[in-house]
A = this chain, B = another copy of it.
Amino acid sequence: PQTFTAAQTSAHIRGHIMYGRYTQELGVYAKEEAARLRESGQRRSVSDRSRTLDLLEYDKGRCAKCRICTVRCQKFLISRVGEDWIFLILLGLLMALVSWVVDFCIAICLQAQKWMYGGLDSNVFLQYLAWVTYPVVLITFSAGFTQILAPQAVGSGIPEMKTILRGVVLKEYLTFKTFVAKVIGLTCALGSGMPLGKEGPFVHIASLCAALLSKFMSLFGGIYENESRNIEMLAAACAVGVGCCFAAPIGGVLFSIEVTSTFFAVRNYWRGFFAATFSAFIFRVLAVWNRDEETITALFKTRFRLDFPFDLQELPAFAVIGIASGFGGALFVYLNRLIVQFIRKQKAINRFLMKKRLLYPALVTLLVSTLTFPPGFGQFMAGKLTQKESLVTLLDNRTWAKQGIAEEFDYIGHSQAWKHPQVNVFVTLVLFIVMKFWMSALATTIPVPCGAFMPVFVIGAAFGRLVGESMAAWFPDGIHTDGTIYPIVPGGYAVVGAAALSGAVTHTVSTAVIVFELTGQISHILPVMIAVILANAVAQSLQPSLYDSIIRIKKLPYLPELGWGHHEKYNIRVEDIMVRDVRYITLNCCYRDLQNVLLTGHLKTLALVESAESMILLGSIERAQLQSLLSQQLGRPKRLEYIRERAVAEKKRLSVMSNPGSDDGSQRVSQEVRFQVRGHCGIGYNVLDLITYLMNLSVQHWGNKGLFFCSFYCQKFFSHVYLSSQPPPPPPCSPLCVLQISEWEEMQLDEQVNFNNCKIDPAPFQLVERTSLHKTHTIFSLLGLDHAYVTSIGRLIGVVSLKELRKAIEGSVTVKGVKVRPPLASFRDSGTSSSENEATELHKLWDRHKSMSLPREHTPSESDEKSQ
């Protein structure tokens, strides 16, 4: 059966975006072969099975009927395995189990720390050691383990998934190794009690699960090798990741859409809902079975009153939370980026940290855990509470303070931690917010698998609580004046704050839904929505989202979103941003042109035009295809043939001229060279060229000695090459001089290219000069394009790649090489000039046909003029 590697997954994903085109990538041949083999194998196995079935029916043994039934069931099951819902259920089940197990392990880790801390309460120093050492060890282990097993597992994973779903190939991001590293690394990192989240990594883990499950299911046949299907399954997996992390199916689907997609297929929506619901259900059922809960309820259940959740006059306070959260969210993203850039820039620090890779995580952990040490500074910021405990207390529906004086916390519980004999609740909350803010921003830069959603969520809740407590102190009997007294619920403010801040950091609106699902109450829907929208409006105008920020830091390919309200985007056109100097090859070009194009440019795909004069775009060819064409032309079989011909000719010459004596030396030289020829017969063109050049050079300078030296070097070099590929059979070649080879090569290069065995993408995406930037952006993000050719009535006039588009959107300040002229664009008259131009172009084409001769009137200078 087909082995399903990460590279192939990538190929699948890559393939998905090639809408309307036919690209046969490197791995696809192999895949098709494998598919055919497997198919035939399946047929065989089916026929085998039916034969066994027949045999069984003849065999009148005891349980023959039973066995027949089993075989039939098996057949039926295998035919069902291809169904989407089976896959989605398996995925949901698997992820629920993973989520539950990870949660369970984290809880045990945190309990262990508390137990150690509690057991050593006789000695503060020992207590401190235990409090600090435990997380340092766990984080260091997590960082080291991830570093060794799969460095791709570091960080959130959402930026990478966004990039992968855009159609970019990220190698090794969806392998089993990464899965193991991510799950274990995450468990250890979160078990340390550092302010880290599990949401982002869970999106990645779910995608890993989907990819691995796909691989596993493909063993049973079915359509698991279809690329479109795999990308759809990955999108569903992202929803499952969020869904089973928070037991929030709806919020999970929406959040994953907002965070990973630009355009979303509504038919995937269904898949996401199905898998996420199933996953959340199993996740919560496991808690019930484990006797943690009586029945299925929300993860952080709140008990706010239903009849009068909030007063209309409280809305300004909610709006203030929203706006402040917007600024806070932008600040968080900025701070996070600043820390990363600071550490990268400081070369001295950097060099030191690079040497001791585990030092940075350890130092950060040490700092954070020292500050949260409960008998120390931690007493002023509820340091002894875990993240989950803090959140539960913050969402509590009882008021902590009335008129500035802290109420008696008469009920037992974690809320006690917020109360300090000397210090006000407000001070504790402010300290908590400020300290956790920079701690979270710092902690998320540690190279372990971790997310930032949950820490931000808790900080937001604390901020909301602060506002809520202030409001409660200000209006002890509530604002409502009509009869009944409805006191203010600070817990509701905490909910609003949590949604607003996490929404601001991630630039999503669906945190509102996640909050409802997490708390199990939707009564505060309007305040939450208002705050989230305001927070988003503020944050989006100040900073990119945390995930986009990471994408930029990691230099992953991306396409920035079009801001709303940027009217000028509608006026910029493709002709303003396109690169006019397109690299192309013509149908009737010779191999030398091919070589030149390959040597001068580094584009992945090259345009194929009819001729340099007509410039009619016929398709595009991948660089790799051209390279193989070139190496075929100069490669081993041709070379051998030539050598054989030469040998025959040489023999004839030798038989005619008997032993010229003076040729003895050169004869030896040829014999020396023979090894080289034998050696490099199978090698690609570029190496060959280099060697020929080197040999010529050494013969010129040092004569025979140089040649001998060179031969020795080549021998070593090629033996290395052959070690990495399979050893070739010794070719039956005859002596030949290096200079003759290069002569032969020159001849070969002058031949016309034969595109017969070359895979051509016959319909690359085309734009027109007048397509607006807005539309271009839409098309690029819809189809996940990397580049598009700009044509005018069939003629290639330019090319636009992701790079140009990005530059145009982000403004002309950072533009290099590409001329962006939005100011000019607005002065352009509405389209008459361009249509005239079109007409002229067409006229030329028409004239050319009228004159009934080959289109040779167009001089290259004319096309040069055009490209000005």
Binding site for B on A (CB under 8 A): 19-22, 24, 32, 35-36, 82-85, 222-223, 226, 228-229, 249-250, 254, 257-258, 261-267, 269-271, 273-274, 277, 280-281, 284-285, 288, 294-298, 301, 303, 306-312, 480, 482, 509, 512-513, 516-517, 520-523, 525-526, 529-530, 533, 536-537, 561-562, 564-565, 567, 570, 587-588, 610-611, 616-619, 752, 754-757, 759-760, 762-763, 765-768, 770-772, 774-776, 778-779, 782-783, 788, 791-794, 829-831, 835, 838-839, 842-843, 845-846, 849-850, 852-854
Cβ contacts under 8 Å, A222 to chain B: 567
Cβ contacts under 8 Å, A788 to chain B: 20
Are B564 and A526 interface neighbours, CB within 8 A? no
Cβ contacts under 8 Å, A616 to chain B: 610, 616, 618, 794
Residue in B36, B760, B849, B850 whose CB lies within 8 Å of A838: B760
Residue in B281, B783, B829 whose CB lies within 8 Å of A530: B281
Cβ contacts under 8 Å, A296 to chain B: 310, 312, 526
Query: Could you jot down 12 A-B contacts, CB within 8 Å?
Result: A22-B771, A24-B835, A263-B263, A269-B509, A294-B482, A513-B513, A522-B522, A587-B846, A610-B794, A752-B846, A760-B842, A763-B791
- In the complex, what distance in Å separates the CA atom of A533 from the CA atom of B759? 44
Are A312 and B285 interface neighbours, CB within 8 A? yes
Task: Tell me the nearest residue of chain B to A790, going by C-beta.
Answer: B763
Task: Tell me the nearest residue of chain B to A525, going by C-beta.
Answer: B517
Cβ contacts under 8 Å, A513 to chain B: 250, 513
- In the complex, what distance in Å separates the CA atom of A301 from the CA atom of B778? 41
- In the complex, what distance in Å separates the CA atom of A424 from the CA atom of B858? 92
- In the complex, what distance in Å separates the CA atom of A261 from the CA atom of B267? 10
Cβ contacts under 8 Å, A306 to chain B: 297, 301, 303, 520-521
Cβ contacts under 8 Å, A285 to chain B: 312
Cβ contacts under 8 Å, A273 to chain B: 509, 529, 533
Cβ contacts under 8 Å, A308 to chain B: 294-295, 297
- In the complex, what distance in Å separates the CA atom of A771 from the CA atom of B21? 7
Are A850 and B19 interface neighbours, CB within 8 A? no
Cβ contacts under 8 Å, A520 to chain B: 306, 522-523, 525
Cβ contacts under 8 Å, A266 to chain B: 257-258, 261-264
Shortest A750–chain B CB gap in Å is: 14
Residue in B263, B294, B617 whose CB lies within 8 Å of A794: B617
Q: A19-B778, A530-B281, A565-B83 are in contact. Are A570 and B229 (CB under 8 A)?
A: yes
Are B20 and A267 interface neighbours, CB within 8 A? no
Task: Tell me the nearest residue of chain B to A616, going by C-beta.
Answer: B616
Q: A250-B512, A587-B849, A839-B756 are in contact. Are A258 and B269 (CB under 8 A)?
A: yes
Are B830 and A35 interface neighbours, CB within 8 A? yes
Q: A264-B266, A588-B850, A757-B839 are in contact. Are A310 and B295 (CB under 8 A)?
A: yes
Closest 7 CB pairs of A and B: A618-B794, A763-B766, A588-B849, A277-B529, A522-B522, A762-B793, A756-B839
Shortest A238–chain B CB gap in Å is: 13
Are B564 and A270 interface neighbours, CB within 8 A? yes
- In the complex, what distance in Å separates the CA atom of A593 from the CA atom of B288? 77
Shortest A565–chain B CB gap in Å is: 5
Cβ contacts under 8 Å, A776 to chain B: 20
Residue in B281, B765, B794, B852 whose CB lies within 8 Å of A854: B852
Are B759 and A835 interface neighbours, CB within 8 A? yes
- In the complex, what distance in Å separates the CA atom of A266 from the CA atom of B783? 14
Q: A281-B530, A771-B20, A830-B35 are in contact. Are A762 and B517 (CB under 8 A)?
A: no
Are B85 and A755 interface neighbours, CB within 8 A? no
Most interface-central of A229, A273, A285 (chain B CB within 10 A): A273
Are B274 and A295 interface neighbours, CB within 8 A? no
Q: A301-B306, A517-B522, A842-B756 are in contact. Are A793 and B618 (CB under 8 A)?
A: yes
- In the complex, what distance in Å separates the CA atom of A270 from the CA atom of B375? 46
Cβ contacts under 8 Å, A846 to chain B: 587-588, 752, 754-756
Residue in B223, B783, B843, B854 whose CB lies within 8 Å of A756: B843
- In the complex, what distance in Å separates the CA atom of A565 from the CA atom of B83? 6
- In the complex, what distance in Å separates the CA atom of A94 from the CA atom of B171? 51
Shortest A220–chain B CB gap in Å is: 14
- In the complex, what distance in Å separates the CA atom of A791 from the CA atom of B794? 13
Q: A295-B308, A517-B525 are in contact. Are A752 and B850 (CB under 8 A)?
A: yes
- In the complex, what distance in Å separates the CA atom of A308 from the CA atom of B523? 18
Q: A297-B309, A793-B762, A842-B755 are in contact. Are A562 and B830 (CB under 8 A)?
A: no
Most interface-central of A36, A530, A775 (chain B CB within 10 A): A775
Are A570 and B226 interface neighbours, CB within 8 A? yes
Task: Tell me the nearest residue of chain B to A301, going by C-beta.
Answer: B306
Are B280 and A526 interface neighbours, CB within 8 A? yes
Are B226 and A794 interface neighbours, CB within 8 A? no
Are A526 and B763 interface neighbours, CB within 8 A? no
Shortest A502–chain B CB gap in Å is: 15
Cβ contacts under 8 Å, A265 to chain B: 262-263, 778
Are B762 and A792 interface neighbours, CB within 8 A? yes
Cβ contacts under 8 Å, A262 to chain B: 265-267
Cβ contacts under 8 Å, A480 to chain B: 294-295
Are B794 and A619 interface neighbours, CB within 8 A? yes
Contacts A228-B772, A295-B310 given; 13 further ones with Cβ under 8 A? A19-B779, A20-B768, A85-B537, A262-B265, A280-B526, A284-B526, A513-B513, A520-B522, A587-B845, A611-B849, A618-B845, A760-B842, A766-B766
Cβ contacts under 8 Å, A226 to chain B: 570, 774
Are B277 and A530 interface neighbours, CB within 8 A? yes
Shortest A499–chain B CB gap in Å is: 12
Cβ contacts under 8 Å, A36 to chain B: 829-830
Are B267 and A264 interface neighbours, CB within 8 A? no
- In the complex, what distance in Å separates the CA atom of A249 from the CA atom of B852? 65
Are B611 and A778 interface neighbours, CB within 8 A? no
Q: A526-B281, A852-B854 are in contact. Are A564 and B84 (CB under 8 A)?
A: yes
Cβ contacts under 8 Å, A32 to chain B: 830-831
- In the complex, what distance in Å separates the CA atom of A830 from the CA atom of B588? 30
- In the complex, what distance in Å separates the CA atom of A779 from the CA atom of B784? 12
Q: A84-B564, A288-B312, A782-B263 are in contact. Are A249 and B849 (CB under 8 A)?
A: no
Cβ contacts under 8 Å, A765 to chain B: 20
Are A277 and B20 interface neighbours, CB within 8 A? no
Cβ contacts under 8 Å, A303 to chain B: 306-307
- In the complex, what distance in Å separates the CA atom of A830 from the CA atom of B31? 11
- In the complex, what distance in Å separates the CA atom of A533 from the CA atom of B526? 27
- In the complex, what distance in Å separates the CA atom of A560 from the CA atom of B783? 21
- In the complex, what distance in Å separates the CA atom of A397 from the CA atom of B447? 51
- In the complex, what distance in Å separates the CA atom of A19 from the CA atom of B20? 15
Are B768 and A22 interface neighbours, CB within 8 A? yes
Are B281 and A295 interface neighbours, CB within 8 A? no
- In the complex, what distance in Å separates the CA atom of A20 from the CA atom of B763? 14
Shortest A656–chain B CB gap in Å is: 37
Are B85 and A565 interface neighbours, CB within 8 A? yes
- In the complex, what distance in Å separates the CA atom of A648 from the CA atom of B794? 45
Residue in B778, B794, B850 whose CB lies within 8 Å of A228: B778
Task: Tell me the nearest residue of chain B to A512, going by C-beta.
Answer: B250
Cβ contacts under 8 Å, A228 to chain B: 570, 772, 774-775, 778
Cβ contacts under 8 Å, A845 to chain B: 587, 610, 618
Q: A522-B517, A617-B794, A794-B762 are in contact. Are A567 and B854 (CB under 8 A)?
A: no
Are A523 and B19 interface neighbours, CB within 8 A? no
Cβ contacts under 8 Å, A223 to chain B: 567, 570
